[in-house]
Amino acid sequence: MPAHVKTPRSPITVTTLCDLPRPETDRELLWLFERAEIEIATPSSWQPIVDASLRGARRERGSSRDDAERRADAYHRASTIVGWLEKLPKALGDVLVAAYQPREFPHRYQLQLGRLSGVVPTLASMRDGLRAARGAGLTAHTDVVLWLDEAIQLGRDELVSAARDEALLHYARALAAYRAARGSRPSLVDPSP
């Protein structure tokens, strides 16, 4: 479904963005930033040893060959996705990292901006806006996220909307570049969570 965003240059011009996440790209990037490290890591042997001791068993068998193959497969998939990200211009890769890197945000802020929550603080216009607001004595915050969370609380919807629209433009461009880098290959990540 395309998104329509008015560009900041002209209230009449509308840019249609068809480059919103597709299931395969969203799954890949989510998996890379939230699950890959867990799937690649060699599991600790401590818990199986404790469990075996509590059951009275003499020894618990270690990792199987299947476990090692699953870790190697996860490493290969992660390396492939990282390779596609590395093909992007740095600015576009940084947008996707900001969008998918797990991070805690204030609840209101996260609800308003969703996937764009990490992208908004990277925008020069938002950093400049915060500096101007601090200079005018409108906020005491030194962090874009806290400033926008305060704006949400105060009902300053125009500021939050402008942040969302600008972040969406950057995000859509980054997703389009990622899709071009990965091509039409099938997803490297299973559809199941």
Do 97 and 164 fall into the same domain? yes
pLDDT band, residue 50 (cuts 50/70/90): confident
Q: Which contacts of 55-64 are long-range, i.e. CB under 8 A and separated by 24 or more positions?
A: none
Higher per-residue pLDDT: 73 or 9: 73
pLDDT band at 178 (very low <50, low <70, confident <90, very high): very high
The answer as to whether 190 is a domain residue is no
Res 19 pLDDT > 70: no
Residue 52 or residue 146, greater confidence: 146
Q: Which domain holds residue 101?
A: 90-181
For residue 12, is it within any domain?
A: no
Are residues 79 and 104 both part of a single domain?
no
Lowest average pLDDT, out of 11-20, 42-51, 93-102, goes to: 11-20
Instruction: For residue 126, give Cα distances in angstroms to 56, 160, 162.
Output: 61, 10, 9
Distance in angstroms (rounded) separating the CA atoms of residues 95 and 104: 17
- Residues 76 and 127 both lie in one domain: no
Q: Are strands 14-17 and 3-6 parallel, antiparallel or unpaired?
A: antiparallel
- How many domains are there within the chain? 2
Domain contains 127? yes
In whole angstroms, how far apart are CA 98 and each of 18, 77, 134, 149, 172? 20, 21, 24, 18, 13
Do 95 and 153 lie in a common domain? yes
pTM assigned to the model: 0.77
Domain identity same for 165 and 107:
yes
Indicate whether 118 and 78 sit together in one domain. Answer: no
Check pLDDT > 80 for residue 44.
no
pLDDT tens-digit series, residues 108-163: 999 999 999 999 999 999 999 999 999 999 999 999 999 999 999 999 999 999 99
What are the backbone dihedrals phi and psi of residue 17, each rounded to the nearest 5 degrees, phi first? -105, 110
Segment among 16-25, 30-39, 117-126 with least mean pLDDT: 16-25
Q: Which of 28, 124, 40 is nearest to 85 (CA)?
A: 28
Please indicate, yes or no, whether residues 104 and 167 belong to a single structural domain of this protein: yes
CB-based contacts of 178, cutoff 8 Å, min separation 6: 25, 29, 84, 85, 88, 92, 96
To the nearest whole percent, how much of the chain has pLDDT over 90? 60
DSSP assignments along 61-118, one per residue: ----HHHHHHHHHHHHHHHHHHHHHHTS-HHHHHHHHHHHS-----HHHHHHHGGGGG
Based on the domain organization, do 153 and 95 belong to the same domain? Answer: yes
Domain assignment present for residue 11? The answer is no
